[in-house]
Structure 1
Amino acid sequence: MGYDVIVVGGGIIGQAITFRLATAGFRVALVEAGEPGGQATRAAAGILSPAAEAAVTSPLWPLMRESLRLYPEWVTRVEQHSGIRPELFLDGVLITALESDAADLARRQEVLRAAGVAAEWWSPTVVADHIPGLAPLHPLALWIPGEGQIEAPRWLRALTDAARHFHADQFWGEPVVQWVTDATGRWIGVKTPRQTLYGERMIVATGAWTYQLWSPGLVVKPIRGQVAALRTATRWTPEVVFFGHGYLVPKADGRLIIGATEDDAGYDTRVTLEGIQQLGDIARRFRIDASHIYWERSWAGLRPATPDGLPILGPVPGHDEAFLATGHYRNGILLAPVTGELAALWVEGHWSEAAVDIRPFRPGRFQDMDDNPRA
């Protein structure tokens, strides 16, 4: 059976692309080596915060801001066709700092305001009043309205079900073992241990596993992220709180997500004692009554990192029938809608009409990239 598009990879990026293309009327097949869930998505707290994740001078900034803008509309459509509420909250985030870092925080506020973000300076009293019980031990904070969080596992399930609603075929537990080519070298399909699927276009969204499907010239490296969930009887307000590289994400059901560690462990997704200790250290940065908060569980996922820290988005050099959407690192959840829209522009022949500058993310920036995949 022939498809308009074959999407390889069933994490949040692959599912967002599949949903977007299926809603546009394309016949789409998604092929995933594992089960639904996604490796990077497993480590995701669901944070949606360009202000905390990128400098305004970074090429990521406009990409993140555009994706955040798209989120409410995307969630409405996906919820309508899946029946799953992914718990999107854009109630704001807090970026906190020590008093010794007041000057740096003030400069950050100035830069954000110049970029059109209404960053507000909050005193310790305002912070304590707004998020009682979760006030950080460091008293200074910037309040960033309009940013927030989503429940990542529910969001992934909702995208999966919504894509099925539009008749996208999804093949789980089927790793791609070979790319099928015609006599001219054009990619026309994928072979799995069970079947061969044919399509007009291929989209590779395999995250940390891209290196295993591609040549050594395209380096997408897995970085393990360990996260913990704490359980309380309190129903917290949904504001995300940052301090340095640590964060605390209150969930609607009373959980507190603490994260995240980062280490180069290959494809090892085990939780380490060192990781648990680091997560405990992050939790202790907040004024939480530890006697009434319980350790529920910890887990790890693999984030796809690139050498320059930017995602890889765009047509494969030398193959106008193939598109790469990978290397989103710790921002896959945030960047899912805009990646879906960009993939749709490419399939529809309107790649040059993207709302943001896509040149910094082109696959060809890695000059030693081999045009030929491994599989």
Structure 2
Amino acid sequence: MTGQESSWAGGGIVSPLYPWRYSPAVTALAHWSQDFYPQLGEQLLAETGVDPEVHVTGLYWLDLDDEAEALAWARREGRPLSVVGIDEAYRSVPVLGPGFSHAVYMAEVANVRNPRLTRALREALLRMPNVTLREHCAVQGFLREGERVVGVRTADGELRADRVVVAAGAWSGELLAGLGIELPVEPVKGQMILFKCAEDFLPSMVLAKGRYAIPRRDGHILVGSTLEHVGFDKTPTEEALVSLRASAIELLPALAEAEVVKQWAGLRPGSPEGIPYIGPVPGFDGLWLNCGHYRNGLVLAPASCRLLADLLLGREPIIDPAPYAPAGRGSL
């Protein structure tokens, strides 16, 4: 089913968790996408009737060890990140737990309800006359004619195409191994828990010690996430539940009285430095990649798709495509 893996499972923050810790390649994609998301949400709602709920709440980072680096990055990139007094942070987020001593805040950060976003995107695709969506149709390998990739073998037979794009998330490396391509994209498990509170319980997203709380418009609060290298295992664990609940209560003590509505796990497509592979694969004419977004798939997605489309169609690319080109990265 479309959009049921990491796109569904993530928190939906329209920003890298610590954007100043990433390379300029990730930053370039993130900035383009962040500016694009509000109009994307409006367009999808108008076309499909499904609201992705692009929810601008701002984000507080608490007790950062690298606050100076964060502020230097913000000045360099022109992003509205600033120091706020801790008293001001507690006034803005009264439910915040005690003991935090300093905070930085970015006002324009949004979150999106990613299961609704993927549902809206699916509906939009189904309405396009030139798109055929094949679900529950596993790809078993590639079709080749000489050095050219001309399609895929599936459980339902062969599908041929002028160009084949691999955008298989955490499974991309495994799929490409069938061609002898060693792509360093591997599954990295992340677990989340969900609480239900009053709609006005948490006015902003908050992040401390690598864990975050994200408010939805209807009062649901997401808390995440773990970082586990356990292969393709997506089983939620009691250990993660205990850890995430403890982090939730440290951030927002009132959650001690709230019921955990749901716990789940997803598999991120881990890649070196979190820089995705976007572009043609050398030595395999007709084969293209758009994968390996690691922890930032949702925030990087609009720019990644636009960049890939620009390259496929021979248009002027929105940003320099060189950092994402598969050629020269790893064994490619």
Same fold (TM over 0.5): yes
Q: How does 1:193-342 map to 2 (within 5 A)?
A: 193-215=155-177, 217-342=182-307
* Matched residue SS, 1:365: coil
Q: How does 1:111-150 map to 2 (within 5 A)?
A: 111-134=73-96, 137-150=99-112
> How big is each residue's C-alpha offset from its partner over 1:131-189, in whole Å with a ceiling of 9 and x where there is no partner?
2223564131111121121001000000110111113211111111131223x332222
Deviation at 1:325, TM superposition (A): 0.5
Q: Distance in 2 between matches of 1:234 and 1:145?
A: 20
Which amino acid in the other structure matches residue 77 of structure 1? Q
Q: Distance in 2 between matches of 1:73 and 1:229?
A: 27
Which of 79, 101, 118 aligns to 2:45? It is 79
> How big is each residue's C-alpha offset from its partner over 1:63-117, in whole Å with a ceiling of 9 and x where there is no partner?
211111121222222222211110002232111116xx4xx32442233123211
Deviation at 1:56, TM superposition (A): 6.3
Which of 98, 101, 123 aligns to 1:161? It is 123
Partner in structure 1 of residue 319 of structure 2: 356
* Matched residue SS, 1:59: helix
Pair 1:366-2:329 in alignment: yes
1:233–1:69 Cα change, 3 Å: closer
TM-score (norm 1): 0.82
1:85–1:243 Cα change, 3 Å: same
Deviation at 1:52, TM superposition (A): 2.4
Q: Distance in 1 between matches of 2:317 and 2:107?
A: 26
Q: Where in structure 2 are there 5+ consecutive unaligned residues?
A: none
Which amino acid in the other structure matches residue 136 of structure 2? G
TM-score (norm 2): 0.92
Deviation at 1:234, TM superposition (A): 4.3
1:213–1:231 Cα change, 3 Å: same
Partner in structure 2 of residue 3 of structure 1: none
Q: Where in structure 1 are there 5+ consecutive unaligned residues?
A: 1-34, 370-375
Pair 1:190-2:162 in alignment: no
1:290–1:37 Cα change, 3 Å: same
Deviation at 1:285, TM superposition (A): 2.3
Which amino acid in the other structure matches residue 47 of structure 1? I
Q: Which has the higher contact order (CA 8 A, sep 6+)?
A: 1
Contact 1:328 1:335 in 2 (8 A): yes
Number of residue pairs the alignment of both structures matches: 328
Partner in structure 2 of residue 55 of structure 1: 21
1:338–1:192 Cα change, 3 Å: same
Q: Distance in 2 between matches of 1:137 and 1:38?
A: 38
* Matched residue SS, 1:319: coil
Contact 2:208 2:251 in 1 (8 A): no
Contact 2:274 2:295 in 1 (8 A): no
